[in-house]
Amino acid sequence: MSMGNNYELYKVFYWAAKTGSLTQAAKALYLTQPSVSHAIKQLEESFGVSLFYRNSKGVELTQEGMVLYSYIEQSQILITLAEEKMAALKNLDSGELRIGGSDSLFKHYVLPYLEQFHKLHPGVKLHLNHGTTPEVITFLKEGRIDLGVVRMPIVDPQLQVTESFQLQDCFVAGARYAELKNEVLTLDALLQYPIILFSRNSRARMTITELFHNYGYSIKPEIEVGSVDLLIEFARRGLGISYVTREFVSKELEEGSLFEVSLDIPLPPSHVGLLTMRNMPLSSAAKTFIGLVK
């Protein structure tokens, strides 16, 4: 009575019962007939019960064998489904990809990659969770997202950071300030104009504030807004000069509804990073997506 069989035996039993032949079962399992015979015997001895009638045509389940089969069949089917499902997850025929980040980064930066990814792997469900950088980091640590897309720099020993893309922030203005189009302004000159900045707690805002401070100036916005779309819109309507990421206004720059205001100092580039948990395995979907971005 050593209950607790090697579960491998059930696989053999399943095929023997299903095919009604130890020989056929052996072929299905890429084994030899004696191996199957031996396996069935082991099961029978462990249960102390005969599972098959042996006859010249093959084997047939006994009453007890049928009882066992009724359980094992379901069990084996589930395992087969599990293996298929795992293969699907691996091949990205299925599964999900959960990304966290800010709306503007999603819209202007992540979207094309997502489209590409979705085209390649339409079976993978996409979940976008928007939030601020600290929120995204929390999501990551709670396992609610697979990766985060945020502005650099991030310093957190638990996080793996992949700097993936460089963005260039700049000042832009609309037709109202057309006279600045071919000028190169000093900081002092710039500050004569009304400035529109992103709200106080954003990384871009902190960066530009610090930069001006280093040059001995203090930048105080006329207008503060909470979304990149508003930064763009206000600049277009001539309410002031907006500090935005150049890549996010490429359309407006092309069509001429906005132009870049040149300065006599270089503005620091900002980096976008992909955040993942360090020492945590990535899902196939996340791995593939990151590969796509790089």
Q: Binding residues for DNA, per CB under 7 A?
A: 6, 8, 21-24, 26, 30-35, 37-42, 54-59, 279
Contacting its own copies (CB under 8 A), which of 19, 23, 42, 62? 62
Minimum CB separation from its own copies for residue 239, in Å? 46
35 is a contact residue toward its own copies (CB under 8 A): no
Q: How far apart are the first and last CA of the chain?
A: 58
Distances (CA, A) of 197 to 90, 180, 237, 267: 44, 19, 15, 15
Question: Under 8 Å CB-to-CB from 130, ≥6 apart: which residues?
Answer: 100, 101, 102, 103, 106
Give the torsion through C-alpha atoms of 93, 98, 101, 104, to 10 deg: 40
Could you say which of DNA, its own copies, none residue 106 binds, taking C-beta under 5 to 8 angstroms by partner kind? none
Closest distance of CB 46 from its own copies, Å = 9
68 binds, among DNA, its own copies, none (CB under 5 to 8 A by kind): its own copies
Residue 85 found at the interface with its own copies (CB under 8 A): yes
Q: Does 32 bind its own copies (CB under 8 A)?
A: no
The DSSP letter of residue 223 is E
In whole angstroms, what is the distance from residue 149 CA to residue 144 CA? 14
Look at residue 282 and give the partner it binds from its own copies, DNA, none, a contact being a CB closer than 5 to 8 Å depending on partner kind: its own copies
Burial 200-220 (b: 16+ CB within 10 A, else e): eebbbbebbbebbeeeeeebe
Residues that bind its own copies (CB under 8 A): 1, 3-8, 10-11, 47-50, 53, 62-64, 67-68, 71-72, 74-76, 78-79, 81-83, 85-87, 89-90, 95-96, 143, 146, 280-284
